[in-house]
Amino acid sequence: MRAEVLIIEDEREMAELIAMYLQKEGVATKICESAEQGLEIVKEHALDLVVLDINLPGIDGFEFLQVLRKKSSVPVIIVSAREGDEDVILGLGIGADEFVTKPFAPKVLVARIRALLRRYRSDPSGYSESGLLHFGPYSLNMEGCLLRKGSKRVPLSCKEFDVLKYLVVNSGKALTPEVIYREVWGNIYGDLTTVAVYIQRIRKKIEQNYSEPVYLQTIHGKGYRFNPETLISAKGS
């Protein structure tokens, strides 16, 4: 798989281990030991994915992610020895796509990286007219993690995209956090508050008035619903 992955990790051995496994897959890697260096590299290179440690000298992985997400939707996998739920929720809440705790099986990490790269890749040269779903001023490219407002890209992580897509495809239905978690994360064991975190993040990106959502509505006691009235069925209308 041709891709370039940046590994931000201050433990040299860990970084080299991850790099070695990725190189076996034909993935090119860059390693840096601090988030500050990482931000410089991100500025200068078109990367396909970032593997991010949290405990770093200088600014930590969370801060890095917050800065990164202001300008890039490159997939990010956090690899951290901190496994508290708060860390996972915070990491996902500020735009990570995956959270892997140390120690981890390198094969598992590589499989997750491959899956994310594949999905991100299916975002074609930017824009394909097929497989687009329109709502309000937005178009959702069902093939890739891509949402546009007019011609402008809305930065969504792959997971945010998945949540939005699931709700749009099932528009009109009230979906409980349990169902959303099961269908999007493919897992029944997890922290359901993650769903609320994602809904909030997506709302911040697409709703004009965050407290009165037009698209992603809360149905009290039931869950969330994508408003079917905002869907535009005929393209170009």
Residues in touch with Ca ion (CB under 5 A): 10, 53, 55
* Residue with Cβ nearer Ca ion (53 or 97): 53
* Residue with Cβ nearer Ca ion (18 or 195): 18
Least distance CB 162 / Ca ion (angstroms): 29
Name the residue whose CB lies closest to Ca ion: 55
CA–CA distance, 160 with 195 (Å, rounded to integer): 10
- Residue pair 50/8 in contact by the 8 Å Cβ criterion: yes
* Residue with Cβ nearer Ca ion (55 or 66): 55
Least distance CB 61 / Ca ion (angstroms): 8
Least distance CB 62 / Ca ion (angstroms): 13
* Residue with Cβ nearer Ca ion (55 or 208): 55
Least distance CB 208 / Ca ion (angstroms): 40
